[in-house]
Amino acid sequence: MYYGLLNVTIIRFCLFFMLYSDARSPVFDPSHRVFIDTIPETLYQKMESVLCDQYHFKNGQKQGGRMCLATNFVGVDQRLATQLFALGKQLTQQFSGQVFTQVLPDGFSPPQENLSSLERQGDAAFFHLDVAITADGPKLIEFQAVPTYQVTAARLGSLLQQEQLPQSQLFLGDRDYQWHDFKRIMQDVLSAGASGGQVIMDRHIQQQKTNFEFYATQTEILPEIEVVDAHQVYAQDGALYFQNKQAQATQIQRLYNRVLTLEAIDDDHYPHPADPWHFRYDQPYQGLEYCNHPAYSFMFAKQQLTQVIHPFNPQCYELAETATLFMTGELACEDYVWKHKLGVAGREIFLSPTIEILQQLQAEQVLEQYIAQQKVQFHPFLSADQQEKIVELRLMFVQSPTDLIAVPMARIGHLAQMQSGQIEPRIHFADNNKPGYGFAPVVLHS
């Protein structure tokens, strides 16, 4: 097995050399390609007002919120942005459509007639990449199907662009997209000419820390779209319905699914028992179209990172295939992060894996559900407030039948020293829910 891994490493190195030796500088300079700067106080207050007054956002732990609007914005060099956009296109071309050839868990195979025309042909309406900014260049650390902040990030970015950096660009794409283009593309995806019954669906809406994005979508993109709890959706007479605010049964015609796969399966035991779910993705419903494929979370997920050959992708293995190498020390636990293939938002992740954890996963017979991803070394940025910060970019792709656009945002976090002496990145919002850190708008610069 060791020689097999060695061969994989050699192949990846050769591909990197052939494909990218002329395309990239030999040294990646984060301070030039990516920078952080302070959001002016008056602009910060305007952003906070939009978030809190229009989107029902609570800014930071002191306000009772679960994430914070960062006091910094992030600038990304256009050349790097172009490379990241190309990576996103490569991944969606590599993995889109695979869902039609895979064996999916019970309840996750929707009938073709309930898919949008885009996803019926194998394309994806939504997906996102998370990219760590390191001294060795950008490193891909996540690949997922459901982007969570595209409207909010675009709105904050547009405010930053208009009031502070008018010469910058906001979106990634094959042309210079503007705010009105983004709105049109989102409307094409979410509505597609439906006469009513457009729905954003998640579970336990009021408990979702990302629910402000639902209200941002209503405010900025489609006022008629309804925010509906998955537990309140039900099948009747061959169609899907929910009770609107006037307690009227309303048929769902266009369903934007935001339910996370692991939450549905592990927390609600979908599709069994029937309660609290009163419908199934794999049943046909009259007049219904999913505007994002319910099963793409299995295809656009961490499990695919073991198949990606690209210089931005850290070394990544199936944990089940490398368990023996970790046991014998040929691979060092401290050099890797172990992640559940379908995990999101920090769920089911081992930042400091050990042999004891490995043995526990073996005993539970769940090793095949995890990948081992080589740790990345985040580049620390020193901001004007004298805080040392790290940056993770999120590129949120939205695709209509005619356009592909990507909205950038950033998470600004910190490096934490553990009792073991190891330095670990803390990038999730829950670890950075305080002034100076958190959700950050992004603009592209020349």
**DSSP secondary structure string for all residues of 107-149:** T----GGGB-HHHHTT--SEEEEEEEEETTEEEEEEEES--S-
Residue 280's pLDDT band, with cuts at 50, 70 and 90, is very high
98-122 residue pLDDT tens: 776 677 889 998 899 999 999 888 8
Read off the pLDDT of each residue in 329-349 and give the average, rounded to a whole number. Answer: 85
Handedness of CA 16, 17, 23, 24 (dihedral sign): positive
Neighbours of 227 (CB within 10 A): 17
> Is residue 188 one of the residues assigned to a domain?
yes
> Is residue 361 one of the residues assigned to a domain?
no
- Alpha-carbon distance 111 to 281, whole Å? 8
> Is residue 258 one of the residues assigned to a domain?
yes
Residue 346: the pLDDT is 62
Q: Tell me phi and psi for residue 271, to 5 degrees.
A: -95, 15
Q: Which two tokens stand for residue 82?
A: 């172009």
Read off the pLDDT of each residue in 169-180 and give the average, rounded to a whole number. Answer: 94
- Alpha-carbon distance 198 to 226, whole Å? 6
pLDDT > 70 in the chain, percent: 91
> Is residue 325 one of the residues assigned to a domain?
no
Residue 345: the pLDDT is 62
- Alpha-carbon distance 345 to 431, whole Å? 11
**Structural domain count, the chain:** 1
**Residue type (1 letter), 181:** D
**Average per-residue pLDDT for the chain:** 88
Q: Is a pLDDT exceeding 50 seen at residue 248? A: yes
Handedness of CA 216, 222, 223, 224 (dihedral sign): negative
238-247 residue pLDDT tens: 999 999 888 8
- Alpha-carbon distance 427 to 8, whole Å? 30
25-66 residue pLDDT tens: 334 566 568 999 999 999 999 999 999 999 999 999 988 999
Residue 94: the pLDDT is 84
> Is residue 88 one of the residues assigned to a domain?
yes
Q: Residue 201 class from Cβ within 10 Å (0-12 exposed, 13-18 middle, 19+ buried)? A: buried
Domain limits for position 407: 2-314+376-445
> Is residue 430 one of the residues assigned to a domain?
yes
Name the strand (E) or helix (H) holding 19: helix 2-20
- Alpha-carbon distance 200 to 254, whole Å? 9
Residue 31: the pLDDT is 59
> Is residue 119 one of the residues assigned to a domain?
yes
Residue 68's pLDDT band, with cuts at 50, 70 and 90, is very high
Residue 351: the pLDDT is 85
- Alpha-carbon distance 180 to 171, whole Å? 11
> Is residue 222 one of the residues assigned to a domain?
yes
The residue to which tokens 């399966």 are assigned: 265
Are 432 and 413 contacting, i.e. CB atoms less than 8 angstroms apart? yes
Q: Which two tokens stand for residue 416?
A: 């934490």
Read off the pLDDT of each residue in 404-423 and give the average, rounded to a whole number. Answer: 90
